[in-house]
Amino acid sequence: MTQATSRTSDTKLSQFRVKGEIPVPLLIGRLTLAAVPILLLFAWRSLDRGLTGSATVLIIFAALLSLNGIIYLASHNCTLQRRGFITVITVLFTYLAVNAVEDGSAIIWLFAYPPIIFYISEARVGVIACAGGLAAVTLLFSPLGDMAFNSPYSTSFRLTMLAVLVFEMSTCYVLDQSRRRSKLGLLKLAAEFEYAAKHDALTGLANRREAHEQLEAEYQRYLRNGRPFSVMLMDIDLFKSVNDNYGHHVGDQTIIMVAHTLQEQSRKVDTLSRWGGEEYLALLPETDTADAIQTAHRIRQKIASTPVNADGHSINATISIGVASIQGSESIDRLLQRADEALYRAKTLGRNQVCDFRGH
């Protein structure tokens, strides 16, 4: 996986929520609410033991976490909140380890670092942060660390601490990768379901329900700005005879050929849908009747000249097209009714015809 792909996946994951999953901003907020009282408690313990400097530092960390939460409430900047939280807790855990707070026992809080980092940040950030933390602890426990900080930790504690920390970081990484793969799988599955809910399986065109939604959206836009739009209702001529004479597989090939031709001959802004078995509907935004009729003729001619292979034999299919453009404050149902009337007239005139609602 490339770096760009990894970042894209992390972005998608941050926007996708599994039911019951706590959003990262809310989780950071809850962690902050839990951490601040704990820091103040240990600050009070330090004061009680005469360790004014340690108490002051812990109070400062509590204030920084609180400030980070206040800034998020004011700005709703999730990235700034996450980066601020990671920075504060990284420095905090470093301070707890180096200064051997609470007679050195506070270093155990380092075990809370890997799961938090992996959950609230990208996988790459989690790996870098944990690797850096492990390197820092190793340095602290080394002879060089003893010379610089005079750490009170025993040899057995140091070995156990490093071994357990490596185990926890590795476990957190494996579990985080599993979680991310599961979420990506759910994200892909959700996208497939969404596509299937809006598209026809055979042709890949929009289905009837999606066409209705696009019609309603375009109709509302028309009511706001007055820009007209047109629809083309199309039907494959004598389609039943194609199925009867050549089989349903050839009928499917014909339906697919018409769909592909529609896609080739239409604009990207047009909505093309399979309206029924061998019926199609095209929604043409900002298109008047004259332009819609011109488009319909181009599509009709292209389909008529495109043969379909039927077990070694080429057959030619034709379509009839009814065109209608929105008028005044008429409803979508009335617009579709006029298009259907135009299609019926095209059929009665001998098929392979284009007619607007007036029969032209």
* pLDDT at residue number 344: 95
* pLDDT at residue number 20: 56
* pLDDT at residue number 18: 54
In sequence order, which residues have a C-beta less than 8 Å from that of residue 37 and are 6 or more positions away?
A: none
Query: pLDDT digit string (tens) for 226-270?
Result: 999 999 999 999 999 988 888 888 999 999 999 999 999 999 999
Give domain limits for the chain. 3-196, 208-356
**Using CA atoms, how far apart are residues 259 and 347, in angstroms rounded to an integer?**
20
Average pLDDT for the chain: 89
Residue 85 near residue 28, CB atoms below 8 Å: yes
* pLDDT at residue number 22: 76
Query: pLDDT digit string (tens) for 277-287?
Result: 999 999 999 99
* pLDDT at residue number 359: 41
**Using CA atoms, how far apart are residues 31 and 24, in angstroms rounded to an integer?**
10
Closest CA to 85 of 111, 120, 57, 56: 120
Query: pLDDT digit string (tens) for 150-177?
Result: 888 889 999 999 999 999 999 999 999 9
State the amino acid at position 260 in one-letter form: H
* pLDDT at residue number 70: 95
**Using CA atoms, how far apart are residues 325 and 348, in angstroms rounded to an integer?**
21
Structure-derived torsion over alpha carbons of residues 327, 328, 334, 340, reported in degrees to the nearest 10: 0
- What is the mean pLDDT of the segment spanning 81-90? 93
pTM exceeding 0.75: no
- What is the mean pLDDT of the segment spanning 206-221? 95
Residue 354 near residue 293, CB atoms below 8 Å: yes
Q: Residue 206: exposed, middle, or buried by beta-carbon count in 10 A (0-12, 13-18, 19+)?
A: buried
Q: Considering the domain 208-356 in this protein, what is its CATH number?
A: 3.30.70.270
**Using CA atoms, how far apart are residues 34 and 355, in angstroms rounded to an integer?**
71
Render 292-352 in DSSP notation, one character per residue: HHHHHHHHHHHHHT-EEEETTEEEE--EEEEEEE--TT--HHHHHHHHHHHHHHHHHTTSS
Residue 325 near residue 347, CB atoms below 8 Å: no
In sequence order, which residues have a C-beta less than 8 Å from that of residue 84 and are 6 or more positions away?
A: 68, 71, 72
